[in-house]
Structure 1
Amino acid sequence: MELPNSKMWTLTHMISRKIITASVSGSLFAVLLGLINPFGGTITSFKHYLLTFVLATPVYLMYSFPFIIVYGVLASIISDKLSRWISAKLGAEKFEIMISAVLHLVFGLILRWYSLGASLLFFITDRLLKKNNREYKLKQAMKSLAIPFAVWLIFIGMVWIEHIL
């Protein structure tokens, strides 16, 4: 059965995949950033490191996820479309993935190392999801937004439990 507007249908699936990618990579980015760069000055013990990691992760998630969901999704769509167009113009379709990776990294340079890491994680996550050859629907994309919310709740819950104990 042919859909009436298959171009719009394909765009919807791509946007849905990009939103899922943002949910997964944004959550991973906050956790990794909390592990690598917990704020709080000098770390005096492993317990202090864990506490600052647990405190930093939801903060990183609150500030980075909105940026990743808006800017990351738009930049990724533009990167994919541009790389497809450039590789077609050059007659080098086999280089489309590399061109897309470079464009993702260029868009990721906006905040230097932080956003560069987020864009690389976004690109890898998106390629893994694309490799599955699944058709992602908008309903799945909306459900995926529960991932960063769940990560935030888990870490806030750990902060609360640590505060009580």
Structure 2
Amino acid sequence: MWTRKIIAASLTTPVYSFLLACWVVIPQYPDSGGIADTVNGLLMLTATYLSVSFPVIVTYGVLTSVFSDWVARRMSMRFEPLVSFGLHIGFGLVLLWLGAGAAVLYWMIDRYLSHKDCRFETRQAWSSLIIPVGVVVAAFGIVYLGGVMQDVMHRL
């Protein structure tokens, strides 16, 4: 179960960071300097949110999810998903609405992995932690290369 929770956290963090960045950047698109600035802002915010939320989701999120599922298993089978969902939201609300959004997304991904009856090994869980790091490096790299390309184009 721990391995599935860690993998769910590794998958939740990039998706949540991207959705949160879209929620901030996309409404401001008409006021921005164009599509390039919007994409740069989207990538930078995604990487920033990912850097901030990844440690929280992997530590606090995994621990509270294990506890939520432990409590939910003690309930009737009919109410187990509802109790687990409610506890995930409750623990997410500790970090206000941002945490609740991440908790709902985490719960959905974890339930999907559980429903698919995926079995993961410890090595796979550790390897999955590379996903968020790779997204951060890729986002910053794309923004950097975009800036380099703009400088080259201005000098020509």
- Provide the TM-score with structure 2 as the length reference: 0.88
Structure 1, residues 16-70: CA drift from partner, whole Å, max 9, x if none?
000000000011111111111249x884243322221111111111100000000
Partner of 1:56: 45
Does residue 29 of the first structure (1) align with residue 13 of the second (2)? no
1:131 to 75, 100, 115: 115
Partner of 1:15: 2
Mapped to 1, the partners of 2:87 and 2:112 lie a distance apart of 18
Larger CA deviation: 129-138 vs 97-106: 129-138
Structure 1, residues 80-136: CA drift from partner, whole Å, max 9, x if none?
001111x1xxxx311101110000000010121111110000000000010111221
Partner of 1:82: 71
Mapped to 2, the partners of 1:157 and 1:164 lie a distance apart of 10
Which 5+ residue runs of structure 2 have no aligned equivalent? 150-156
Does residue 153 of the first structure (1) align with residue 153 of the second (2)? no
Q: How many residue pairs were aligned? A: 146
- Provide the TM-score with structure 1 as the length reference: 0.83
Identity between Structure 1 and Structure 2 (%): 34
Partner of 1:4: none
Partner of 2:59: 70
Which 5+ residue runs of structure 1 have no aligned equivalent? 1-13
- Following TM superposition, by how much is the alpha carbon of 1:149 offset from its aligned partner in structure 2, in angstroms? 1.2
Larger CA deviation: 122-131 vs 43-52: 43-52
The two structures, once aligned, show a CA RMSD in angstroms of 1.6
Aligned partner letter, 2:73: R
